[in-house]
């Protein structure tokens, strides 16, 4: 069994994703945390159970990538194209998916607390069993899938986050006769 450094694994992923997948089958704990995958193209890679904490996939093209049970805490997916990827039971807390294209992805059991979805295209993705989606950050430009692909109790209508809350004393002062 070969033991690779993070740089060697990165090179292996770029050269031969199939070889990475074969190597990974024999390795239970794969640590690719804090790795810069920016601008990479990956297809059919198995990142299941991989620690990708604080890594960056910014501006990358990912398709058919398996992120099942992966630690994606604080991962940067900004402006990435993430198509038909599986995020089942993954940890996406604090992940930044701003401006990403994420159609046809599966988020069953994925923890999305604090995940940033500003201007993210999630069309045709299955978020129906995603956890903590209401605790994600999103805006009026986030593109959601049809309602049957969202949790029953989730309201995708944009509402300002907590920073927009104001005390009564911050309300505009009305003069007599104004309503």
Q: Examine the pLDDT at 172 and tell me if it is beyond 60.
A: no
Residue 41: strand, helix, or coil:
strand
Domain map of the chain by residue range?
28-153
**What CATH class has 28-153?**
mainly beta
Closest alpha carbon to 87 in 45, 130, 58, 120: 130
For residue 131, what is the DSSP state?
B
**Which residues are within 8 A (CB) of 153 and not within 5 positions of it... i.e. 6 or more apart?**
134
Using CA atoms, how far apart are residues 59 and 46, in angstroms rounded to an integer?
20
Please report the pLDDT score of residue 166 as a whole number: 47
> For residue 62, what are its two tokens?
């990912």
Identify the helix (H) or strand (E) that includes residue 141. none
Residue with tokens 């810069």: 36
Residue 15: strand, helix, or coil:
helix
Residue 71: strand, helix, or coil:
strand
For residue 125, what is the DSSP state?
-
Using CA atoms, how far apart are residues 31 and 142, in angstroms rounded to an integer?
31
Q: Examine the pLDDT at 177 and tell me if it is beyond 80.
A: no
> For residue 41, what are its two tokens?
């193209």
Q: What does the pLDDT look like over 75-130, one tens digit per residue? A: 999 999 999 999 999 999 999 999 999 999 999 999 999 999 999 999 999 999 99
Q: What does the pLDDT look like over 21-54, one tens digit per residue? A: 999 998 888 999 999 999 999 999 999 999 999 9
């Amino acid at each position: 069994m070969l033991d690779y450094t993070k740089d060697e694994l990165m090179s292996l992923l770029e050269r031969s994703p199939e070889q990475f997948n074969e190597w990974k089958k024999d390795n239970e704990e794969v640590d690719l945390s804090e790795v810069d995958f920016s601008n990479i193209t990956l297809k059919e890679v198995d990142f299941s159970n991989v620690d990708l904490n604080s890594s960056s996939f910014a501006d990358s093209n990912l398709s058919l990538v398996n992120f099942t049970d992966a630690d994606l805490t604080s991962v940067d997916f900004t402006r990435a194209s993430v198509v038909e990827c599986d995020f089942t039971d993954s940890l996406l807390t604090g992940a930044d998916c701003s401006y990403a294209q994420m159609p046809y992805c599966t988020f069953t059991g994925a923890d999305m607390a604090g995940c940033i979805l500003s201007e993210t295209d999630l069309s045709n993705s299955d978020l129906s069993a995603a956890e903590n989606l209401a605790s994600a950050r999103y805006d009026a430009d986030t593109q959601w899938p049809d309602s049957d692909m969202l949790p029953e109790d989730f309201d995708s209508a944009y509402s300002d986050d907590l920073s927009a809350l104001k005390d009564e004393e911050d309300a505009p002062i009305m003069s007599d006769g104004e309503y």
